[in-house]
Structure 1
Amino acid sequence: MGQLQYYSDLVVKVASDRDRSAFAELFDHFAPRLKGYLMQQGADANLAEEIAQDVMVTLWRKAELFDPSKSSASTWLFRIARNRRIDRLRRQKTAELDPEDPSLQPSAPADVASEMDARLREERVREALKSLPNEQQDVVRQAFFTGLSHSEIADRTGLPLGTVKSRIRLAFGRLRQVIEADQAVDVD
């Protein structure tokens, strides 16, 4: 099961069963990421944390509004965070608020062709990942799906840092070959 699907399933568990362990896992994963995102968008640490917690409370209270067929859990939560930040800025009614600020503009409607291309790419990558040796799959998943640094992976696995980096580099080389070969077949 993919990481995106995993978190979407956890939101569905919260919605259907009020599953506290699913919520705790979602909170542990998303709250710090939401805070970091909000700080990148210009919120100070206290405001970012407050909004992130508000988003997680919204997840608990309104999980049934999440539709996994329309977006991933992360897209849904980050959109709520973005909207909450905009609401805060509007309430402040400061002169700083620039109506032309791109973060205040509505998102462009999804391009169906681009979404399909992205899904096909994601499917190709998932299939290509399956062709990797287990030890390479493991480090790639930890680095790119769990978001761990190379050093954190080395600490968790007990592998030397150089080995972790080599496995990731080899995995990328192999993934590139598999995906390029797959695309060449599609073109023919």
Structure 2
Amino acid sequence: MDRRPGVPRGRRLAVVSSRDVQQAPSPDALAEMMVQIAQDRDRQAFARLFRHFGPKLKTFFLRWTPSSGMAEELMQETMLTVWRKASYFDPARAGVATWIFTIARNMRIDHVRRQRNPSALPPDPENTPDTLEEGLIGAERDALVRRALTTLSPEQQTIIRLSYFNEKSQAEIADELGIPLGTVKSRTRLAMNRLRALLEDKS
């Protein structure tokens, strides 16, 4: 792990004060944090970015490893990579979430390869829900995506907005809407397939 001066240590990354709990930052605010990290090595901006993405990254890694400790380690490594490579972030090419989750996906692939278990490698990223999720997050403000959303049924629109724009889990959505978890999953799958087809037609 990188120990150069100015690079946060992994142990320090996990410290989050209760007073720091706040509303999720906007895409513009996230991009501004990346600029501050890249240009000024701003530790406070990095801490805010970590608070926002740390739990999401750990959940992402827990999908592929039963070890909470390993998921925590991979999350830490991902955020340290974000710190080291912040200058490579280009807001014209991708949103902050898309960029960070791309790093996380590559980190996961490298971890599996290090374990020398090729059968555990993920399927083609083009066909995984993770890629769709990252694409939607990165393009949240894109007019094309919003127009595509209007073609969905009201039920599907509600679930997509709660899941990808309000960042709620499927279990939370099921509780909020008072419907079975299986219904949330099936509506999400149908909605994502519809959105992907529409967006591919426009590309």
1:98 alignment partner, SS class: helix
Equivalent in the alignment of 2:157: none
CA deviation string 1:1-56 (max 9, x = no partner): x8222212211110011111110100001011000011123452111110110111
- The equivalent position to 1:6 in structure 2, one of 14, 22, 29, is 29
Equivalent in the alignment of 1:23: 46
Q: Which residue type is aligned with residue 9 of structure 1?
A: E
CA deviation string 1:107-150 (max 9, x = no partner): 48x9xxx999x82145679xxxxxxxxxxxxxxx999756479x
Equivalent in the alignment of 1:88: 111
Task: Name the structure with the higher helix share.
Answer: 1
User: Residues 43 and 58 (structure 1 numbering): CA distance in 2 closer, same or farther, change over 3 Å?
Assistant: farther
User: Residues 43 and 3 (structure 1 numbering): CA distance in 2 closer, same or farther, change over 3 Å?
Assistant: farther
- Whether the 8 Å CA contact 2:113–2:121 is kept in 1: the answer is no
* TM-score (normalizing by structure 1): 0.55
1:82 and 1:61 map into 2 onto residues whose CA distance is 17
Equivalent in the alignment of 2:119: 98
1:50 and 1:19 map into 2 onto residues whose CA distance is 23
The two structures, once aligned, show a CA RMSD in angstroms of 3.7
User: Residues 36 and 143 (structure 1 numbering): CA distance in 2 closer, same or farther, change over 3 Å?
Assistant: closer
Residue 101 (structure 1) shift: 3.8
Q: Which residue type is aligned with residue 119 of structure 2?
A: D
- Whether the 8 Å CA contact 1:14–1:23 is kept in 2: the answer is yes
Which structure 1 segments of 5+ residues have no match? 126-140, 150-160, 162-188
User: Residues 40 and 143 (structure 1 numbering): CA distance in 2 closer, same or farther, change over 3 Å?
Assistant: closer
* 1:122-141 map, 5 Å: none
User: Residues 13 and 122 (structure 1 numbering): CA distance in 2 closer, same or farther, change over 3 Å?
Assistant: farther
- Which of the pair has more CA radius of gyration? 1
Q: Which residue type is aligned with residue 82 of structure 1?
A: R
Equivalent in the alignment of 1:166: none
